[in-house]
Structure 1
Amino acid sequence: MRSTPRAETFPAHTPAASQVFTTVLSHGPLTRLEAGRRSGLSPAAVTKAVRPLLTAGYLSEGAAEEARLTLGRPAGLVRVNGERALFLGVKVTGDELIAVLTDLCCRIRLARRAPLPDRAAGPVLAAIAGLVHELLAHAAESDGPVAGLGIAVSGDVDRAEGVVRYSPFLDWRDVPLAELAAQAAGLPVTVDNDVRALTVAEQWFGAGAGLAGFAVVTVGAGIGCGLVVHGHVVAGAHGVAGEIGHIVVDPAGPECRCGNRGCVEAIAGEAAVVARVREVTGRQVVDGAEAVALARDGVPGAREVYARAGEAIGRGIATVANLLGPERVIISGEGLAAYDLFADQIRQAFTATAFGSAARCEVLTRPLPFEEWARGAAAAAIQSFITQTPSSGRG
Structure 2
Amino acid sequence: MRSTPSHEAAPAMTPAASLVFTTLLSHGPLTRAEVGRRTGLSPAAVTKAVRPLMELGYLVEGVDEEARPAVGRPANLVWVDGGRALFIGIKVTGDEIIAVLADLCCRIRISRHVPLKGREPEAVLPAITALVQELLTEADGFGVRVRGLGIAISGDVDRADGVVRYSPFLEWRDVPLAELAGTTTGLPVTVDNDVRALTVAEHWFGAGVGLSDFALVTVGAGIGCGLVVHGRVVSGAHGVAGEIGHLSLDPLGPLCHCGNRGCVEAIAADPAILRAVRAATGKQVSDAAEALDLAHDGDPGVRAVYARAGEAIGKAIGSLVNIFGPERVIISGEGLAAYDLFAEGIRDAFAASAFGTASQCDVITRPLPFEEWARGAAATAIQSFMASDTYEE
TM-score, normalised via structure 2 length: 0.95
1 CA distance for matches of 2:389 and 2:261? 38
CA shift, 1:70, in A, is 2.6
Q: Match for 2:286: what amino acid?
A: V
RMSD: 1.8
- Whether 2:382 is the aligned partner of 1:369: answer no
Indicate the residue corresponding to 2:30 in structure 1. Answer: 30
Deviations 1:319-368 (A, max 9, x none): 11000101111111110011111112111111110011111111111101
1 CA distance for matches of 2:232 and 2:322? 19
CA shift, 1:251, in A, is 2.5
2 CA distance for matches of 1:5 and 1:134? 23
2 CA distance for matches of 1:376 and 1:238? 21
Whether the 8 Å CA contact 2:157–2:164 is kept in 1: the answer is yes
Indicate the residue corresponding to 1:181 in structure 2. Answer: 181
2 CA distance for matches of 1:28 and 1:144? 22
Aligned residues: 388
CA 1:94–1:74: 2 relative to 1, 3 Å: same
Deviations 1:223-278 (A, max 9, x none): 00011111111111221211100101222322212222211011101011011111
Indicate the residue corresponding to 1:202 in structure 2. Answer: 202
CA shift, 1:4, in A, is 12
Instruction: Report the more deviating stretch, 135-144 or 158-167.
Output: 135-144
Whether the 8 Å CA contact 2:166–2:173 is kept in 1: the answer is yes
1:203 counterpart SS class: helix
CA 1:389–1:270: 2 relative to 1, 3 Å: farther
2 CA distance for matches of 1:389 and 1:287? 47
Please list, as runs of the form range in 1=range in 2, the aligned pairs for 1:80-229 lying within 5 A after superposition: 80-229=80-229
Q: Match for 2:318: what amino acid?
A: A
CA shift, 1:6, in A, is 5.3
CA 1:115–1:9: 2 relative to 1, 3 Å: farther
Please list, as runs of the form range in 1=range in 2, the aligned pairs for 1:1-395 lying within 5 A after superposition: 13-68=13-68, 70-388=70-388
CA 1:138–1:85: 2 relative to 1, 3 Å: same
2 CA distance for matches of 1:325 and 1:123? 42
2 CA distance for matches of 1:132 and 1:8? 25
Whether the 8 Å CA contact 1:98–1:111 is kept in 2: the answer is yes
1 CA distance for matches of 2:195 and 2:260? 22
CA shift, 1:68, in A, is 3.0
CA shift, 1:205, in A, is 1.3
2:300 counterpart SS class: coil
2 CA distance for matches of 1:299 and 1:211? 41
1 CA distance for matches of 2:382 and 2:263? 34
CA shift, 1:372, in A, is 0.6
CA shift, 1:8, in A, is 9.3
Q: Match for 2:271: what amino acid?
A: A
2 CA distance for matches of 1:171 and 1:253? 23
CA shift, 1:144, in A, is 2.2
2 CA distance for matches of 1:310 and 1:81? 43
Instruction: Report the more deviating stretch, 11-20 or 271-280.
Output: 11-20
CA 1:71–1:150: 2 relative to 1, 3 Å: same
Deviations 1:257-309 (A, max 9, x none): 22222110111010110111111112220111110110011123111111110
Whether the 8 Å CA contact 2:13–2:389 is kept in 1: the answer is no
1:30 counterpart SS class: coil
Instruction: Report the more deviating stretch, 237-246 or 64-73.
Output: 64-73
TM-score, normalised via structure 1 length: 0.95
Unaligned runs of 5+ in 2: none
Whether the 8 Å CA contact 1:153–1:193 is kept in 2: the answer is yes
Whether the 8 Å CA contact 1:83–1:143 is kept in 2: the answer is no
CA shift, 1:389, in A, is 7.0
Whether the 8 Å CA contact 1:25–1:80 is kept in 2: the answer is yes
Instruction: Report the more deviating stretch, 68-77 or 39-48.
Output: 68-77
CA 1:283–1:7: 2 relative to 1, 3 Å: farther
Q: Match for 1:131: what amino acid?
A: L
1:89 counterpart SS class: strand
CA shift, 1:11, in A, is 5.4
Q: Match for 2:151: what amino acid?
A: I
Whether the 8 Å CA contact 1:100–1:375 is kept in 2: the answer is yes
CA 1:8–1:286: 2 relative to 1, 3 Å: farther
CA 1:351–1:12: 2 relative to 1, 3 Å: farther
Q: Match for 1:28: what amino acid?
A: G
CA shift, 1:67, in A, is 2.2
